[in-house]
Amino acid sequence: MDRSIMSTAVYPGSFDPITLGHLNVIRRAAAIFDELLVCVMINSGKEPLFSHEERVELIRRTVVRFPNVKVEASQELLVEYMKVRGAKVIIKGLRAVSDFDREFQIALVNRKLDPNIETLLMPSSEKYTYLSSTVVKEMAAYGADLNTFVPQEIIEDVLKRLKV
């Protein structure tokens, strides 16, 4: 398929830590767009387990198999980050109806800030609908097997951080 304009999408999130659900969305979005930027953002409502830099490194280790995926961190407003990079599409994963309500509202705000930006809401694969970074941290704290929660490449990092 020949495209005259390179399509770039941004998948923003806190990714603290990245889960298999996040990785599933990355794989699917990377198959649609020429370039996918995974952007580690600040979530003021959460106390992070890993620093910005650590999260970028953890994600880079898990997405190395996707040549069109780049990982960055940003503390700026998402629409400003996107303008600088020429991106027009925001990717957001949805696990449940409650995610839709929040993400729909944020999509409208982003469109108000920049009418050229679209948000693509990707429903989670059914096997990841229960999965969140919060669940991962809780399960890890109790010593649960993390193989079905996070990519193999970062299991030891999560366990070490939680001193399990």
Return the number of other C-beta atoms located less than 10 Å from residue 121's C-beta: 14
For residue 17, say if its preceding peptide bond is cis, omega within 30 degrees of 0. Answer: yes
Q: Which residues contact 18 (CB under 8 A, 6 or more apart)?
A: 55, 58, 59, 62, 133, 150, 151, 154
**Residues marked as catalytic:** 22, 46, 95, 133
**Among candidate residues 33, 29, 31, 45, the one with its CA nearest the CA of residue 14:** 45
CA–CA separation, 164 vs 160, rounded Å? 6
Contact 36, 63 (CB under 8 A): no
